[in-house]
Amino acid sequence: MARKPRLHFPGAIYHVVLHGNGDQQVFFDDTDRTRFLLLIQEGVERFGHKLHAYCLMPTYLQLVIEVDEVPLSRVMQQLGFRYTRWFNDWHGQAGHLFQGRYKAILIDPERYLLDLVRHLHLAPVLANLEADPMRYPWSSHRAYCGREKVIWLSTERTYLQIEETGIRALMKFHGYVNEGLQAPAAVDFQRGGPADPRILGAEDYVSGVMKLARQKYQPRTRPEKVIRAVLERYKLSEEELAAPGKNRLCAEARAYLAWLFLETGCETLTALGERLGRDVSSLSSAVRRLQLKAKKDPHLADKYQKLLNRIRR
């Protein structure tokens, strides 16, 4: 399946993660980290984006970036290229430093910005690099808490969600971050939402973002709708579909169902396998066999297209 294009519009805020190639270290010492932060500052001044938070770990880094007119791809290309070139020259190395394409999830800042910043600031503690986020010098936490000044760091939007000002805001923020150690985060910031894997936000936010990015929004298909369409077409119950045995009609229905799950992205084959009591490899093999047959048999291809059309109505 083709990779979806990046989403861009002025004001978009992304959670960016960039790993070392093969999990190699991307920062050996404080000189490396200082150079990287300097390159971030130069990028902010050159491209006009905002940096809401950062955390530099030994083998990867996390950033929260709000873009302006220049798209994130250009910002990250310049940052990655310039740091890699400097790093290889300084350490006498060659080759790729980072692991392919950076990962970026566009977030709804009103719902997730504060928690995302906390997520970054807790990373060193959760990785057992420090016991207190205030003691880790290579994240933006100390700057948020007034312990140091980072002139290119944008804290205002995050602090709006603290609902305090002055020293009370600094104390409340530090306390809020530490509270995150008591319970696991309710949100997986490494993944997008169910409506679109590129976006962490509710469906109405996703719809608005797609309009701003001038891309067509296709609402996420519900798994129940896909299952119901197949069951009605084959006049089966879900219990019959999940029953053990090699009933030919049920096997064909499961193959179409797995194919439609893959096409619509409504859910994973793993989830479907758990629901039907089948392993993923069996479902995947059934889909491949059906797709090969459908290339030679117009009747099978037509049946698939009619099911897909019914689901998308």
Distance CA 174, CA 241 (A): 53
Same fold, 13-212 and 223-312: no
Please give the CATH number for the structural domain made up of 13-212: 3.30.70.1290
Q: Flag whether pLDDT at 129 surpasses 90.
A: yes
- Half-sphere exposure of 18 toward its Cβ, with a 13 Å CA cutoff? 26
Single out the residue of 125, 126, 119 nearest to residue 176, CA to CA: 119
Single out the residue of 156, 46, 171 nearest to residue 109, CA to CA: 156
Q: β-strand 199-200 against 103-107: which pairing, if any?
A: parallel
Map tokens 């891309």 to a residue.
215
Q: What is the mean pLDDT of the chain?
A: 91
Confidence of residue 218 (pLDDT cuts 50, 70, 90): low
Domain ranges of the chain: 13-212, 223-312
Q: Edge to edge, what strands does the sheet with 13-19 contain?
A: 50-56, 60-66, 13-19, 103-107, 199-200
Please give the CATH number for the structural domain made up of 223-312: 1.10.1750.10
pLDDT tens, residue by residue, 155-190: 999 999 998 888 999 999 999 999 998 877 778 898
What is this structure's pTM?
Answer: 0.72
